[in-house]
Structure 1
Amino acid sequence: MERKMTLKYAALQGSYWMTFCSIVVYSSVFLLSREFSASQIGILIAWANIFSVVLQPIIAGFADKSNKITIQRLAVLIALGGLAPLGIILFIPNVKLVVAGLFIIVITAVGILMPLINGISVYYENKGYNINFGLARGIGSLSFAVASYILGYLIKKQGENIILVAAMILFAFMILMLNMFKIKNVDSSPEQKKSPVKSKDKYFFQEYKMFSLLLLGVVFLFAFHNMINTYLVQIITHVGGDSKDMGISLAIAALCELPAMFLFSKVVKKISADKLLKLSGIFFTIKSVAFYFAHSVVMIHLSQLLQVLSFALYIPASVYYANQVMKEEDKIKGQALFTAALTAGGMVGNLLGGYLIDYKGVSTMLLWCIAFSTAGMIIFFFSARKVGNYELNEAKGEYIS
């Protein structure tokens, strides 16, 4: 029964990450076909990120407290809210303001769905099911890789509108998978409904000074990371490639995440999380340099192999590290701050990357990537420190790729 539940949940993760790939990763390809500039795309995605960050805790809190609607049904409603605008975009004339507004809604919906999808695993864990979250999340990365490759091929053959068609099909598949789960709400006692005790915010950053500095390093590293991911199509085109090459490149990066995801629990027993964070910072920087000196599609593909020791290593290492340095009452806040810093880096990367490509060119943007990743790496070396013994907080959904 538990194996069946894990497989079903893995299929749900797979459907989500394929949808994420079609909407978020290929957004730049589609919007360029609708005559958006790189800087306009950056602004659009940044606004979607802001809305996601604001709405995620609000909707998650509603899902926790509501006795009328389950987390599964809420996820279905939000998925439908992301699906509907795609159909409108597909058939309306190219009115930029309308397309931009609708696309922001779609990207926001995808962002909001992430904690809800992860929350379904928590629900079943609390019911006594032993869901292998690492395996399910690994299937998500594998599905992302497959979707990346297929979409790149289809765009070359059918044109950019195939992105909308694929995203609509994948949203529908995700809704189907969500309906495979039977979730019931449980009435909470008054004590359970009360908000948990929080540490005093004004003293938090004073108490965790090195952790606060580390967050700045995360912002720098993910400004670089989002620049090369959001504007990968421009980078690929710059070296003579096309959408099919972009799909292959994304698939390579996603497949490289699998070893780190499956083996990290064994690696961290031998190498502490602070050292693994520093190692990821080194390879983020090496990757940025590799991208700058890549003058062919093959070299871009080879640069993506560095994903295994950069992004794929950082994600689980950050979860372990936050649980190492935080007091019990601050552990959730530590994870949330890592996510916030990552998102802030994404906003910086999307906005600045679009401007640089439009007015300075791809090469200049890649130089900024080196500067950002180097700054992040240096900050990691000064701020990531080992503090005593620790255990992994196994609350599901605390880390993503």
Structure 2
Amino acid sequence: MSVNARYRLLQGGYWMLFCAGYGYVTVFLLAEGFSAGAIGVITALFGIFAAVLQPWLGRLADRGGRFGWKPMLLVLAALGLGDAVLLCLRPPQAVTGVLFGALLMLISAMMPLVNAASFHYRSQGKPVDFGSARGVGSLCYAVLSLVLGQLTARLGGGIVPLAVLGAAALFLLFVLLMPCEPAPAKPKAEPKGDRRRGFLVRYPAFCVMLGASTLMLAFHNITNTYLIQILGAVGGDSADLGVAIALAAVMELPVMFGFSRIARRWSAGSLLTIAGMAFVAKGVWYLMAGSVWGILAAQILQMFSFALFASASVYYAEESMEEQDKVTGQACMSCTITAGAVLGNLVGGWVLDACGVGILLAVALGMAVTGAVLAGVSEKL
């Protein structure tokens, strides 16, 4: 099996795990008796832990040697599998919240390593198409979401830990299948010239884009984590949730599979700005939707919002960073997903409990607008 085929399996396994964890966190925790505010606190708290962990793992991976992406990914995948086993044992409510939060932290920490693997192989002259692999990930996400939506509607949210367990086992297997030729350890050297300057000074546009990405993803996380409540406000249920998530994932496929061609014509920064404008349009559509069909129609904009963001953000980090900072750059960009989850889930849970779905969507739209503006500013720096 070629490296490209194995990498597609790796992305597929990862996004199945992401779907079972992040896609159905609210369904599962609501079934376990948690309020929307408590769910926001759990996801935010462990998101903060992940935000600290991701750059640290990135710096380790940048050094090469025995701290390469694959050994670290194996450890994280094994920990995720163990966490899923414990969840399936149905511990007390408080322990369940901690375990599921830890699972989300581990899934977040895996993302920069999964993305960095493609550039690791490309640097060795092995053809790996990140866009098509990420498209396979979206396809797997869509299929599992559709199945899980039906299962949770019939059997309840308690089925989610079993789905997490199966996805974690598959992902660990796919990590083991990946060939790994460790990069040589990079010798430590005294900082010279630009290396003495701080990250913000060396990469000002990148840092502004990190802020933009965080806000865009705060919108994305609010409208995903609390999508079951958004649908419930217009008469939907968990079966409709499965359809909505699956539809969004399918909408990602044309962009994912064609991204290598798109990237030849547009810079990654420009594509992130376009994604920001699409997030705004999606927010407006959510506010205007008065039925389940309206919410489903808004999911079509996933093609131009998150689909563009997911691929362009990886390329943006690769284009913006110096060679010795590339995995750190991937980790920082992945950190915005975590930071967006912290901001979106925490604020979203509080607003939803206090003010309802309408105000929640208005707040989310405000975040998307600010993020789009900052992305445009970053392009001018």
Q: What TM-score bracket applies, with the shorter chain setting the length?
A: 0.7 to 0.9
Match of 1:397 in 2: none
Equivalent of 1:112 in 109, 112, 118: 109
The structure in which a higher percent of residues are helix is 2
Amino acid at match of 1:88: L
Contact 1:211 1:384 in 2 (8 A): no
Alignment of 1:103 with 2:97, yes or no, is no
* Corresponding pairs, count: 380
Distance 1:324 1:62, change over 3 A: closer
Equivalent of 1:194 in 176, 185, 188: 188
Alignment of 1:39-50 (within 5 A): 39-50=37-48
Match of 2:349 in 1: 354
Q: In structure 2, what is the Cα distance between the partners aligned to 1:196 and 1:31?
A: 49
Distance 1:197 1:10, change over 3 A: farther
Q: In structure 1, what is the Cα distance between the partners aligned to 2:182 and 2:276?
A: 42
In the TM superposition, residue 212 of structure 1 has moved relative to its aligned partner by 4.1
Percentage of matched positions with identical amino acids: 37
- What TM-score do the two structures reach when normalised by structure 1? 0.83
In the TM superposition, residue 323 of structure 1 has moved relative to its aligned partner by 6.0
Q: Deviations over 1:262-295 (max 9, x none)?
A: 2233334444545433322221111001111111
Equivalent of 2:379 in 367, 380, 384: 384
In the TM superposition, residue 78 of structure 1 has moved relative to its aligned partner by 2.5
Amino acid at match of 1:7: A
* Aligned Cα root-mean-square deviation (Å): 3.0
Match of 2:275 in 1: 280
Amino acid at match of 2:139: L
Match of 1:365 in 2: 360
Distance 1:80 1:257, change over 3 A: same
- Unaligned runs of 5+ residues in structure 2 are none
Which protein has greater RCO, CA pairs closer than 8 Å, 6+ apart? 2
In the TM superposition, residue 38 of structure 1 has moved relative to its aligned partner by 0.8
Q: Rg larger in 1 or in 2?
A: 1
Match of 1:343 in 2: 338
Distance 1:326 1:110, change over 3 A: closer
Q: In structure 1, what is the Cα distance between the partners aligned to 2:366 and 2:174?
A: 43
Equivalent of 2:54 in 56, 79, 82: 56
Distance 1:54 1:158, change over 3 A: same
Alignment of 1:2-401 (within 5 A): 4-62=2-60, 71-93=69-91, 95-183=92-180, 185=182, 188=184, 192-194=186-188, 197=191, 199-200=194-195, 204-206=199-201, 209=204, 211-321=206-316, 335-385=330-380
- What TM-score do the two structures reach when normalised by structure 2? 0.87
Q: Deviations over 1:149-186 (max 9, x none)?
A: 11101111222111111111111122222333354657
Match of 1:390 in 2: none
Amino acid at match of 2:38: Q
Match of 1:398 in 2: none
In the TM superposition, residue 125 of structure 1 has moved relative to its aligned partner by 4.0
Distance 1:243 1:43, change over 3 A: same
